[in-house]
Amino acid sequence: MATPTPLPEAEVQAFLRTHGDWRLEGGALARTFEAPTFLAGVAFVDQVAKLAEAADHHPDIDIRWRKVTLRFVTHDAGNRVTALDARLADECDLLFRALPK
């Protein structure tokens, strides 16, 4: 298996410009989602977990009542953001938008 390649800084910044709720935090893509209820937040985490497991790439997940914070970074790329991190972050946005409100 090839070592993942970190995204160039310009591509990370382009992702952040087009995904305004995401930020770079400690070298990782991070976003806090606020669900309408605690159970909706947990259901969202369950969907993220299935997505992550299918990709064999797992974010750090922090749940605090209705707030869910995800952090994506690739350890095998020197703790840098890769295309896989950006793709999964984008897919998490889609999952969250599909949550019942």
The per-residue pLDDT for 1 is: 62
Domains annotated for the chain, with CATH where assigned, are 28-97 (3.30.1360.20)
pTM of the predicted model, to two decimals? Answer: 0.95
Q: Which residues contact 92 (CB under 8 A, 6 or more apart)?
A: 31, 33, 48, 51, 59, 70
What is the CB-side half-sphere exposure of residue 93 using CA atoms within 13 A? 17
pLDDT, tens digit, 9 for 90 and up, residues 30-52: 999 999 999 999 999 999 999 99
